[in-house]
Chain A
Amino acid sequence: MHTLYRILMPAGIASMLFLSGGIIAHAQTGTTSTTGTTTASTTVPGTPNTGAGASAPMNLALLGVSALMAIGGVGYLARSGATPVR
């Protein structure tokens, strides 16, 4: 079981670190081309981007692929009757 952790934990952590940067960019509300304008005394901001749905196809695809990876791995172990690696 100890070896199992040795493999699973770094893999999970590495994937989280790798994905966090990319996913944040997709899951966030993004940016628009509406930028602020400066008047004589104040800065007027552009309007916010409050629709994250544009990232939904990418996020759903990532969810599907990652779920298939995990299920595939579990399926392989179940079929092979594998014991923890030593």
Chain B
Amino acid sequence: MPDPTKRGTRAALFMIGVGVGAFSTTLAHALWYAPELEVPQPAAAAAAPSRALTPGDEPARLAIPSLGIDASVQKLGINAEGAMAAPSDFSEVGWYEYGAVPGYTGTAVIAGHLDNGIGLDGVFKHLDQLAVGDTIIVEAANGTKIDFIVSSIHSYPYASVPDTSLFATTGPPRLALITCSGSLLYAQHTYDRRLVVIAALQQPS
């Protein structure tokens, strides 16, 4: 005959174990890690770089003084859905590594999170407060700092972003910052709009 006291104690310990495990796992994923599976970019379809990329040209940090942003830059590819991957950290930004290099021909794209898995602010939470004329600074891995000036700010329905011009690898050197905006679409796990900030390379005076 099983002892009811022991059974109750075992059940309580099991509840504690499951509860603590589930709580810590959920919290860790919601606050510090936003994993997204990236798929390799097919070599034949890779975008032509605007120039030969050397390790030192890669962006390492992004600073937006007017918003108090100073974030590390991750290199990002594409996800299984064919979209640019999102940064794996809510406090960092990600550069699309198969596109243009900041400061050189084409539009370099850098994305950042609006919020995290429990609704707290992501690095680009206040990107909508940028104004035309604000300065954005990209620091390359070799220490070179490149200044951009915000030239336009756009908000698009999430399925209608002009991807071809946004990810252009030709044309004048520009920087595009992108994040989510608008209203939540719970079923799709996303927001209904995308905020895109376009900045032009500041010419040396």
What is the interface of chain A, defined by CB distance below 8 A to chain B?
Answer: 4, 7-16, 19-20, 23-24, 26-39, 41-57, 59-60, 62-63, 65-74, 76-77, 80, 82-83, 85
Determine whether the beta carbon of B17 is less than 8 Å from that of A44: no
Taking each of A15, A30, A31, A48, which has the highest tally of chain B beta carbons within 10 Å of its own beta carbon? A48
Give chain B's interface secondary structure class: mixed
For residue B45, which residues in chain A have a CB less than 8 angstroms away from its CB?
38, 42-43
Determine whether the beta carbon of A49 is less than 8 Å from that of B180: yes
Q: Report the Cα distance A72→B194, complex, angstroms.
A: 43
For residue A59, which residues in chain B have a CB less than 8 angstroms away from its CB?
26, 29-30, 117-118
For residue B10, which residues in chain A have a CB less than 8 angstroms away from its CB?
7, 85
What is the interface of chain B, defined by CB distance below 8 A to chain A?
Answer: 5-6, 8-27, 29-30, 33-36, 41-42, 45-48, 76, 78-87, 90, 94, 96, 98, 111-119, 122, 124, 158-159, 161, 163-164, 166-167, 169, 178-180, 184-186, 188-191, 194
Determine whether the beta carbon of B178 is less than 8 Å from that of A49: no
From known contacts A41-B48, A49-B86, infer whether A19 and B21 are also in contact, taking CB-CB under 8 Å.
yes
Chain A residue nearest to B168 (CB atoms) is: A44
From known contacts A20-B25, A52-B115, A73-B13, infer whether A46 and B83 are also in contact, taking CB-CB under 8 Å.
yes
Determine whether the beta carbon of B46 is less than 8 Å from that of A32: no
CB contact between A73 and one of B15, B21, B29, B115 (< 8 Å): that residue: B15
Q: Report the Cα distance A67→B76, complex, angstroms.
A: 35
